[in-house]
Amino acid sequence: MLSDMSPRSRRQLLSMIGKAGGGLAMYQAMTVFGHAAETRFTGPPQLTGARKGSTVLVLGAGLAGMLAAHELTKAGYKVQVLEFQDRPGGRNYSVRGGDKIVEVGGAVQNVGYAPGNYLNPGPWRIPHHHRTLLHYTKAFGVELEPFIQLNHNTLVHRKDAFGGKPQRYRELSVDFKGHVAELLGKSLNAGALDSSVTREDKEKLIDAMRQWGVLDGDMKFTGDLRVSAQRGYDKAPGGGVGGAPTPSKINSLSDVLSSQVWSQIGFFFSYVMQTTMFQPKGGMDMIGKGFYRQVGKMVRLNTKVTRIAQDDKGVTANWTDTVTGQSGESKADWMVCTIPATILSQIDIQVSDTKKAALKALPYSNSVKIGLEMKRRFWEEDYSIYGGHSFTDQAIGLVSYPNNNFFQDGPAVLLGAFAGRAGGYQFAGMTPEQRIQTALDMGSVFHPAEYRKEFRTGASVAWSRMPWILGCCASWTEQSREDHYDNLVAMDGRIVLAGEHASYYGCWMEGALLSSLDAIKRLHQRALAA
Amino acid sequence: MSVRTVSQMFAATAGLALVAAVAARAQDAPGGVTTVQVSDEGREVYEQICQACHMADARGGGGAGAAIPALADNPKLAEKDYPIMLLLKGRGGMPWFTDMLTPEQMAAVLTYVRGHFNAYPDPVTVADITRVSTAPPPVRECDTCGK
Ligand SMILES: Cc1cc2nc3c(=O)[nH]c(=O)nc-3n(C[C@H](O)[C@H](O)[C@H](O)COP(=O)(O)OP(=O)(O)OC[C@H]3O[C@@H](n4cnc5c(N)ncnc54)[C@H](O)[C@@H]3O)c2cc1C
């Protein structure tokens, strides 16, 4: 019966159930239809009936803070937001020409990108199942475009594979598949797996290996024209005289194994990394700006909170204006605090010892991104690479090509490093100029003739040196979740914490938003009960 | 360079830790696995890792309430178990380094930091690291930062 329903009538039924049974019933119904297991988001929270004159102080104008401000205002609260930086958005950030990047330690970069170009130093890709984020981007008029996550024509480089010469992902992945299929076919035919598979399944598997691996009649992966139809030709098919293609030569099993291409294949299987992915047109900070259009009037920028107190009547935040040096105090009935744990654990805050312990037990990972502006799109013009990532085992991790403005003349910014862990620390410890030079050296393996020649200007963001966060994202472990997570997220008197760090969806914008929605629902309940 | 990190040391004995670390790291990559090497020499470990936050002069930085602590002239380093504990467990915003540095590298860099930026010349040894590391090292959940 269900299968007869058109998508449209399903939606009507769902909205009926939603009206009759509320969000939870709707969620359960959707799950039955196989629509919603992917998200905890059941729509905006629809909070109503705040007590007249109730006030909320929100600390931090990242996505978690601004969403709290937006929804609590809709519920009838009077909200004020205090933000350390001179811009809203927090980690939702884009760097453009004319911007200044100031690091702890004093390094200053004046970004020289051409107009319209940008680097997304933090978030850069949005999975199709991050429904909360997608809901609000649509609601706030933020236009999204495809993020080219998987591009078969990009390159894979490992220092000790193929003599250090990068190979096309397409060729390596097809060859890996072909060799694995041939080997599995061999073991099946030799009866080596007879105790593991039924006769029937064995036949199906052999058939599958032949088709999937593009094996020949002898179950061998040889690299005939059918294989070239996947991995590309030596001479591509042409028209007219001499139009016949010639096949390309496959790589040996050992060579393919040395490339470790399975690590990229596996990466693309990750649920959060699967296509379709999106990015905002014009830079990731278009999302922060979209939120700011809703709540901008409530936000006090350049306001660094230094102390947080509460009693049975309300909350107080002491702050310093980072421009004038003036200090001040803001009061409200309730507080949503989204300041990252790296900073909050250093602030005098009046909460339980268990919450303080949780904040102190939450280290942050590190990351460095470098945007290199090139005079022209040589990766498109000379390599037929349109978006996507070339991978390397060097500290830069990858080179990622812009996903927008294809075929345009003029300068474009590519991501010249996404360095984490040891490589991230190595880059962060360098001067901004050294970072650029090192990234140019490493990235040159992919485009040796063009990389330095076409380079115009670069900028880097070393997250461990950003004064308002001192890190990238919260690093939880199974043990710290068990010891501290509940204590971290529990409402403490009049204060509730929210943000990426207060979620099980760490280091995604979706996690920051889900945490915020959960926090304000609990705050609203407590406020109505008080 | 030596390749056995503390996690691996434990994995060899405890069996489980390494498997978990590898599984958790599956997503924690820009897509692929880098082969970045860290030096075994104390000063170079400092420059390649610690300097990212504590700065080249080991004076840290930032402002009140948003600071990176100085390692230079830091009386807390007099007692060597304290910095060893920080490398093994992390504290505040600083993560543990058990999945990035070997016990040899930890000993070398702590000897350097205590001797060069402070006046505590007695070396930190691998035996010190092993003595303090009584519990299995933390295993990080995957995140998207490294990637
Ligand atoms: C390198 C990197 C890559 C990422 N990639 C992705 C991705 O591809 N996709 C994705 O969805 N997510 C990604 N993320 C994660 C995403 O950026 C975060 O999960 C999300 O933006 C966090 O939002 P938040 O509101 O919790 O915190 P934040 O955005 O950090 O907001 C906290 C705010 O508090 C302010 N603050 C700090 N101290 C004080 C103080 N003392 N007083 C007042 N205010 C203060 C800060 O200035 C900041 O504005 C990435 C993050 C990084 C760093």
Q: Is residue B94 situated within a structural domain?
A: yes
With CA atoms as reference, report the closest residue to A370 among A124, A98, A157: A124
* pLDDT recorded at residue B137: 86
Best mutation site among A58, A396, A427, A509 for ligand 1, i.e. most ligand atoms within 8 A of its Cβ? A509
Whether residue A11 is predicted with pLDDT greater than 70 in this model: the reply is no
pLDDT band per the 50, 70, 90 thresholds, residue B20: very low
Q: Per residue in A190-200, pLDDT tens?
A: 999 999 999 99
Which pLDDT band, with edges at 50, 70 and 90, does B139 fall under?
Answer: confident
Beta strands in chain B (DSSP E): 61-63, 66-68
Each residue's pLDDT tens digit, A410-449? 999 999 999 999 999 999 999 999 999 999 999 999 999 9
A473 lines ligand 1 (CB under 6 A): yes
**Residue bearing the bigger pLDDT, A469 or A30:** A469
CB–CB of B31 and A391 under 8 A? yes
pLDDT for residue B31: 79
| d(CA A63, ligand 1 centre) in Å | 7
- Is A76:A50 a contact under the CB 8 Å cutoff? yes
Tell me the pLDDT tens digit for each residue of A374-414.
Answer: 999 999 999 999 999 999 999 999 999 999 999 999 999 99
How many CB atoms sit inside 10 A of residue A10's CB? 15
Q: What was the pLDDT predicted at B5? A: 59
From chain A, the residues in CB contact with B139 under 8 A are 477-478
Beta carbon of A304 within 6 Å of any ligand 1 atom: yes
B24: nearest CA in chain A?
A477
pLDDT at A7 over 70: no
Nearest beta carbon to residue A429 from set B51, B66, B146:
B51
CATH of residue B96: 1.10.760.10
Q: Assign 3-state DSSP to chain A and report helix, strand, coil percentages, each to 5.
A: 40, 20, 40
Give the other-Cβ count within 10 Å of A374's Cβ.
23
Residue nearest to atom 2 of ligand 1 (CA): A122
pLDDT of B100 higher than 90: yes
Please state which of the four CATH numbers 3.30.70.1060, 3.40.50.1860, 3.90.79.10, 3.50.50.60 is assigned to the domain occupying A55-88+299-361+475-529: 3.50.50.60
**Cα of A501 from ligand 1 centre, angstroms:** 9
The verdict on B141 touching A (C-beta cutoff 8 Å) is yes
Of B48, B67, B94, the CB nearest to A363: B94
pLDDT at A28 over 70: no
Q: Distance (Å, rounded) from C-alpha A105 to C-alpha A109?
A: 12
Region B3-19: mean pLDDT is 45
**Cβ B119 vs Cβ B129: under 8 Å:** no
The verdict on residue B61 lying in a domain is yes
Beta bridge partners of A279: A145
Domain assignment of residue B37, yes or no = no
- Quick one: closest CA in B to A396, which residue? B34
**Is residue B29 over pLDDT 70?**
no
Let me know: does A522 contact A496? Beta carbons within 8 Å: yes
- pLDDT of A50 > 60? The answer is yes
Indicate if the pLDDT at residue B140 is higher than 60: yes
Summarised one tens digit per residue, pLDDT across range A249-275 is 999 999 999 999 999 999 999 999 999
Q: What is the mean pLDDT of residues A234-238?
A: 97
Three-state DSSP state, A305: strand
Q: In this structure, are residues A310 and A350 in contact, taking their beta carbons and an 8 Å threshold? A: yes
Q: Is the pLDDT of residue B147 over 70?
A: no
- Hey, what are B124's tokens? 């930190």
Average pLDDT over residues A353-382: 97
Q: How far apart are CA A69 and CA A14, in angstroms?
A: 29
- Three-state secondary-structure class, residue A497: strand
Q: Does the beta carbon of A507 sit less than 6 angstroms from any atom of ligand 1?
A: yes
Q: Are strands A367-374 and A412-420 parallel, antiparallel or unpaired?
A: antiparallel
Q: What is the pLDDT of residue A10?
A: 44
B49 CB near a chain A CB, below 8 Å? yes
**Rounded to whole angstroms, how far apart are CA atoms A255 and A234?**
19
Inter-chain contact A397–B29, Cβ cutoff 8 Å?
A: yes
Tally the domains of chain B.
Answer: 1
- The model's pLDDT over A114-143, given as tens digits with 9 standing for 90+, comes to 999 999 999 999 999 999 999 999 999 999
CB within 8 Å: A421 and B36 = yes
- A468 alpha carbon to ligand 1 midpoint, in Å? 10
* pLDDT at residue A26 tops 60: no
Nearest CA to A498 among A519, A528, A467, A524? A519
User: What's the pLDDT at A395?
Assistant: 97
Torsion angle in degrees (nearest 10) through CA of B46, B47, B53, B56: 110
pLDDT band with cut points at 50, 70 and 90 for residue A39: confident
pLDDT of residue A466: 98
Under DSSP, the state recorded for A18 is: H
What pLDDT does residue B143 have?
A: 54
pTM: 0.92
Say if B144 falls within a structural domain: no
Instruction: Report the residue of chain B nearest A479, measured CA to CA.
Output: B138
Percent of chain A with pLDDT over 90: 92
pLDDT score of A212: 98
Range B75-103 average pLDDT: 96
Of B31, B52, B61, the CB nearest to A264: B31
State whether ipTM is beyond 0.95.
Answer: no
Domain of residue B59: give its range: 3-24+42-136
Q: Which residue of B has its CA nearest to A424?
A: B146
- Mean of the pLDDT values across residues B42-71? 97
| Pairing, β A100-102 against β A108-110 | antiparallel
Closest CA in chain A for residue B59: A105
Residue A9: pLDDT band (50, 70, 90) is very low
Task: For A139-166, write each residue's pLDDT tens digit.
Answer: 999 999 999 999 999 999 999 999 999 9
Q: Work out the percent of chain B whose per-residue pLDDT is above 70.
A: 76
pLDDT-derived band at A37, boundaries 50, 70, 90: low
* Ligand 1 proximity of A58 Cβ (cutoff 6 Å): no
Ligand 1 touching residue A285 (CB < 6 A): no
Does a structural domain hold residue B82? yes
Q: How many CA atoms lie within 13 A of A48 on its CB side?
A: 1
* CB-count exposure of residue A215 (10 Å: 0-12, 13-18, 19+): buried
**List of chain A residues whose C-beta atoms are within 8 Å of the C-beta of residue B28:** 420-421
Structural domain includes residue B35: no
When scoring A82, A104, A264, A446 by the number of chain B Cβ atoms within 10 A, the one with the most, hence best to mutate, is A104
Largest CA distance in chain A: 88
Cross-chain Cβ contact A267/B146 below 8 Å: no
Distance CA B86, CA B101 (A): 13
pLDDT at A225 over 90: yes
- Say if the Cβ atoms of B147 and A418 lie within 8 Å: yes
Q: Is B3 on the interface with A (CB under 8 A)?
A: no
CATH T-level topology, domain A167-252: de novo design (two linked rop proteins) (1.20.1440)
For residue A261, what is the enclosing H or E element?
Answer: none
Instruction: Give the count of alpha carbons within 13 A of A310, CB side only.
Output: 21
Fold of A95-153+275-281+365-465: Polyamine Oxidase; Chain A, domain 2 (3.90.660)
